[in-house]
Amino acid sequence: MNVMVVGGAGYIGSHAVRLLLDAGHGVTVYDNLSRGHASAVPDGMLVHGELSDRAKVVATLREKKIDAVMHFAAFALVNESVNDPAIYYRNNVVDAIELLDAMREADVKKIVFSSTTATYGEPDIVPIAETTLQQPINPYGFTKLVFENALADYAKAYGFAYAALRYFNAAGARPDGSIGEDHDPESHIIPIVLQVALGQRDKITIFGDDYATPDGTCVRDYIHVDDLGAAHLLALDKLESGKGLCVNLGTGRGTSVREIVEACREVTGHAIPEVMGERREGDPPKLIADATLAGQLLGWKPQYMDARSIIETAWNWHRNHPNGYATKAV
């Protein structure tokens, strides 16, 4: 297939691009580089454009004879969404709907969308299955849920075929170390802890150890970025006109913040000083996926089942690219 990867210069999208190429698909990356990196995109594949530029999206879909779209482009920082919801509703909803309408215009109706655990909010029952009520607790989660709803309506009314893949905590890097995570500012725990190991930060602050979890720190389900990419490829093959496929993507295993810090010490051989801080507002104590449905519907099985093996791939990227895409491999 010819696939347009919207947001393919970003962290997760750039990994999906490599897997699409490995599988023999044609790839066009469409990205405005607001939060991505041109050097994360293979030569000659980047179209620099805005989601909101309908004419450019339509022209790209037609020129490149696109069969399906993978939509990764969004703002994805919970805190930022609380402080400035306007840019979230604009980018993740209003501009993203422009993408759907450009697809209608160009008669491309297959789409795989990056959704998130944040659409569930703070569910009482963990592991979280897809039957859990989606009740987001922040604007970021709401914008993602609105777009899921739009996809369901576009499927019914216009014959779109879609998958909404609800990622848990994306982590790790392509094992060959060629691409990885480079966000500015960085808010995710694993790259932050690895920056301590690199000497770029003096310590890691753990956001609270008084949660009702085994060691008091928050528990998350870390899923390797290539396992996410693999699910996208499987979903491409299962898209059916008029229908939606909504599944969780996680390992089904929880890892606490303390366990992440300890695993980073083991992987890097660095001491990694830690201090205990206040709880971060809006952090649910425990988020673990029930990803049974993704196994059943997609035949998906994550390859990286423990945080340590995920961290090893992240460390391979960070130690060779201490300043992310700003530095060449050493």
Ligand X SMILES: O=c1ccn([C@@H]2O[C@H](COP(=O)(O)OP(=O)(O)O[C@H]3O[C@H](CO)[C@H](O)[C@H](O)[C@H]3O)[C@@H](O)[C@H]2O)c(=O)[nH]1
Catalogue the active-site residues. Answer: 140
Q: Would you give the binding string for ligand X spanning residues 13-42, x where CB under 6 A is met?
A: ------------------------------
Binding track over 116-135 against ligand X, x by CB under 6 A: xxx-----------------
Q: At closest approach, how far in Å is the CB of 90 from ligand NAD?
A: 9
Least distance to ligand NAD from the beta carbon of 273, Å?
Answer: 25
Among 187, 200, 296, 327, binds ligand X (CB under 6 A): 187
Task: Determine phi and psi for 201, rounding to 5 degrees.
Answer: -135, 150
Helix (H, G, I), strand (E, B) or coil at 154: helix
The residue from 32, 169, 251, 316 that contacts ligand X (CB under 6 A) is: 169
Contact positions toward ligand NAD, by CB under 6 A?
A: 7, 9-13, 31-36, 50-51, 72-74, 76, 91, 95, 114, 116, 167, 169-170, 183
The answer to whether the CB of 307 falls within 8 A of the CB of 168 is: no
SS3 141: helix
Which partner in ligand NAD, ligand X, none is near 33 (CB below 5 to 8 A by kind)? ligand NAD
Give me 262's structure tokens: 């300890």
Query: Please, which of residues 239-258 interact with ligand X by CB under 6 A?
Result: 257
How far does Cα 271 stand from its chain's mean position?
A: 29
Tokens describing residue 70: 């993978």
**CA–CA gap between residue 308 and residue 166 (Å, rounded):** 22
Q: How wide is the angle at C-alpha 311 spanned by C-alphas 306 and 315, nearest 5°?
A: 160
CA-wise closest residue to 207 among 181, 188, 185: 188
Residues that bind ligand X (CB under 6 A): 76, 116-118, 169, 187-189, 192, 204-207, 218, 220, 257, 280, 283, 287
